[in-house]
Amino acid sequence: MAEDRRTRRTRRALREALVALVLERGFGALTVEDIAERADVARATFYSHFQGKDDLFARVTSDLLADLDERMRPAVTESTVGFTGRPLLELLRHARDERDLYRIVLQGEGDGRPLRMFIDSCARVTAMEFRVRAERNGVTPRIDPDLLARVWVGEQVAVLQWWVAHETPPMPAEEVVRMLLDLALRGRYWASGFDVPG
């Protein structure tokens, strides 16, 4: 039990050191020694947990995705018919709570690998949910669910990149969700100010 607590504490310290140092210097400039020193752990201790800084960043990103999945699951379950905005609101709240980590993932640090992990995971889960929702409601998607999921996740990532880049978000999460709900239901033509042709 004490071993587990110590392991969790060490990994948390390494995660916090990684995030802080990437924000300060960028991932490419970091060494394992930099991270271990900031975390106040021995280099050998670092290597007892991770193969290198890429492995640490990948684990931190996997943990972020697991935490996001756990937080979003109830909101996705409630959204049985269409876009309610609840999953997106949870995503934005999660990004607010983990802002610095989202910033380094979404700006493509680590040669973009964590960002690809994030996008691929979100697209996979979203495509599965689109298929389940279509089957549950007896409808046939007009666009391939994998492509539709990539479009949807791409838009969300672009919004997240913009939203977390600011010290104070440019608008409240609820307002972002309201606007994206209107966009999802009415389309880009309407959102641009034009009346939809009758």
Domain 1-50 CATH assignment equals 3.40.50.360: no
Which pLDDT band, with edges at 50, 70 and 90, does 50 fall under?
Answer: very high
pLDDT of residue 187: 86
Does the pTM exceed 0.85? yes
Instruction: Convert the pLDDT of each residue in 150-160 to its tens digit.
Output: 999 999 999 99
Q: How far apart are CA 3 and CA 62, in angstroms?
A: 22
Q: Can you give the residue ranges of every domain in the chain?
A: 1-50, 53-191
Note the CATH architecture for domain 53-191: Orthogonal Bundle (1.10)
Cα separations in angstroms, 83 against 97, 133, 169, 193 = 23, 10, 23, 22
